[in-house]
Amino acid sequence: MKIYAINGGPRKKHNTAQLLQAALEGAAAAPCAEPVETEMIHLYDLNYNGCVSCFSCKRKGGKSYGHCAVKDDLTPVLEKLAQADGVIFGSPIYFGNITGKLRSFFERLMFAYFVYDENYSSLAPKRMPTAFVYTMNVDSTLMEQYGYRQNLQGMEMFAGRLFGEPQVLHACNTYQFDDYSKYECERFSESEKAAHRAVQFPKDLEEARKIGAAMVTAGK
């Protein structure tokens, strides 16, 4: 069994990456009759674009029907995910939504699997457990007030139609900097941020581990 984590954020050791790593650890530690392999893929290491509207993935009888025809750094990743047993997608929230890098990734991953028939049928290789992990600077009240949850549910819906209903984790009011004194950020209280992180982030990490473990159980 192979579980992948897709890091849609630019930092490899900060909030989003830490939660994704915890999810992979939960998956690796889950009871399973077969070995559970895990891998983190950092999208900001890759050079690629979003969908280029060539429609090769929809051309009748074409050699690329049902999969993306574009060849770049994302191609081997898409090939891996076609054989995955579970995928966890992670992103910090920028302007109320996922990063542009992850959005472009989703265009390439998902569009080829949707058929332009009456029901938007799926060509995804198989159903599998998925999850979305989000990190954001705003607290949970502002997340709802600003409509973040609604913004994010669109991509969750598409993933659910192709692969299966995803698990979702919103990590709110995250700690952004190692030293707030170095940045212009009077809007935020470093002491309040630090106090919140000390209590809440360990809970978020544990929730991420549970998500990873549940993916293994669901994928058996």
Residue 31 has pLDDT above 90, yes or no: no
Share of the chain above pLDDT 90, in %: 80
Q: Which residues share a beta bridge with 168?
A: 132
Give φ, ψ of 70 to 5 degrees. Answer: -70, 135
Domains defined along the chain, listed by start: 2-219 (3.40.50.360)
3-state secondary structure of 48: coil
Complete edge-to-edge strand list for the sheet that includes strand 86-92: 37-42, 2-7, 86-92, 130-135, 167-171
pLDDT tens digits, one per residue of 83-128 = 999 999 999 999 999 999 999 999 999 999 999 998 889 999 999 9
Distances (CA, A) of 110 to 8, 98, 105, 167: 15, 16, 9, 18
- pLDDT tier for residue 179 given thresholds of 50, 70 and 90: confident
pLDDT tens digits, one per residue of 180-202 = 888 888 888 888 888 888 999 99
The residue type of 25 is E
What pLDDT does 43 receive?
98
What pLDDT does 219 receive?
64
Distances (CA, A) of 68 to 52, 123, 142, 149, 219: 10, 12, 37, 29, 25
Residue with tokens 């599998």: 128
Q: In the chain, what is the straight-line distance between the N-terminal and C-terminal CA atoms, in Å? A: 8
CB neighbourhood size of 59 (10 A): 12
